[in-house]
Structure 1
């Protein structure tokens, strides 16, 4: 993974500040794994400030009482040709997301 840019480092610092200050006061109630702040940090570190911020915004919109839940890591790769339509970086659909080994566990039983 390449070294994060200066804007990405700034955003990662803000996420860390949130984890140290506001998160303990609000409580740990994220509906997804990994948590929304961990997802945002991973998306920004992997894909940069621009794409990672759009992914984090989409995730925060999904993480609501009427939203989804389950396993939802940041994507490994970006969609092609989305830089000029940045909202396409994010996954805006809610619903249950099974962990990657859920199908394997069902077939073993």
Structure 2
């Protein structure tokens, strides 16, 4: 099970880094949070594991909207 989690962490990290390099530069700095949502996703997946990290990332992305004030929100 640990090796499956490790493989998923590597795969998800690759996908997020690819997004940061290829898509994010064209979108500009729009995230209202620090760290940005993609950096938060990377940190949460690497520190909490694939399943919990994806859950935290989705929760964070859903908060990234005009109705939420944003601000400093590190992975806890």
Quick check: TM above 0.5? yes
Q: Deviation above 4 Å: which 4+ runs of structure 1?
A: none
Q: CA deviation at 1:17?
A: 0.3
Work out the CA distance in 2 between the residues paired with 1:48 and 1:24. 27
The aligned length equals 72
Work out the CA distance in 1 between the residues paired with 2:56 and 2:15. 16
Larger helix proportion of the pair: 2
Other structure's SS at 1:61 match: helix
5+ residue gaps, structure 2: none
Work out the CA distance in 1 between the residues paired with 2:71 and 2:34. 6
Other structure's SS at 1:5 match: helix
Please say if residues 36 and 59 of structure 1, whose CA atoms lie closer than 8 Å, have aligned partners that are also in contact. yes
Structure of higher CA gyration radius: 1
What is the TM-score normalised by the length of structure 1?
0.64
Other structure's SS at 2:49 match: helix
Q: CA deviation at 1:65?
A: 1.3
Other structure's SS at 1:58 match: helix
Residue equivalent to 1:72: 73
CA RMSD of aligned residues (A): 1.0
Please say if residues 63 and 69 of structure 1, whose CA atoms lie closer than 8 Å, have aligned partners that are also in contact. yes
Please say if residues 44 and 52 of structure 1, whose CA atoms lie closer than 8 Å, have aligned partners that are also in contact. yes
Residue equivalent to 2:46: 45
Considering Cα pairs closer than 8 Å and 6+ residues apart, tell me whether 1 or 2 has the greater RCO.
2
Please say if residues 62 and 68 of structure 1, whose CA atoms lie closer than 8 Å, have aligned partners that are also in contact. no
